[in-house]
Amino acid sequence: MIKQHNNSDDQKNHDIVWHHATVTRARREAQNNHKAVNLWFTGLSGSGKSTLAHAVEERLHQMGCRTFVFDGDNVRHGLCSDLGFSLEDRSENIRRIGEMVNLFLQAGVIALTAFISPLKKDREKVRAIIGPDNYLEIHCACSLEICEQRDVKGLYKKARAGIIKNYTGISSPYEAPENPALRLDSGATPLEECVKQVISYLQEKQVIPS
């Protein structure tokens, strides 16, 4: 009879040891000529998070920065394909992303994340995982009315009709950040201007060279 492996927390803590590489984050950042940070874009569906994250990445790439965008839908196809959209599953989705972002930061990469991430406690969990100095919260502040007007997937309409359950802004809460690093009026401000504000902020904080 094969004995099942005990996956208790005590066993895991004793058996798993973090390996410290000789090529450190600091060395990777020096080679890249920029710091590694996480730009956490949060906002309602349709607020422009993904569009802005990819536009910022394009600009950073043109400037020679090493970047990667974690997009909400893309992550749901792989890493988090086993999760639904209950508040519990949303929390686990964000926790996994936080752990992935932490690895990318160690690789010296500017990690851009575009997730609704509706609950403050989940965003705070990411801040705790990666460290407050690494977490730059960017609130794409866009009214529900404008988000619904942009509803190209028809998801808000389905949520209003009760076809989709637990939809943020309709039947599930969204807790807006109280003190984000940046709050962008993504409902009225042109995309290029939003990109400029993000890039200027990164230069001001000396994440990237001016």
Residues designated catalytic:
117
CA dist., res. 44 & res. 160, Å (int)? 15
How big is the CA angle at 198 (ends 136 and 150), to the nearest 5 degrees?
A: 95
Question: Considering only CA atoms, which of 114, 142, 118, 122 is closest in space to residue 38?
Answer: 114
| Residue 20, number of CB atoms within 10 A of its CB | 6
Query: Which class for 3: exposed (0-12), middle (13-18), buried (19 or more C-beta within 10 A)?
Result: exposed
**Percentage helix, strand, coil for the chain under 3-state DSSP, each rounded to 5:** 45, 10, 40
Give the count of alpha carbons within 13 A of 27, CB side only.
4
Q: For the stretch 53-79, what's the b/e string if a residue is b when 16 or more beta carbons lie within 10 angstroms of its beta carbon?
A: bebbbebbeeeebbbebbbbeebeeee
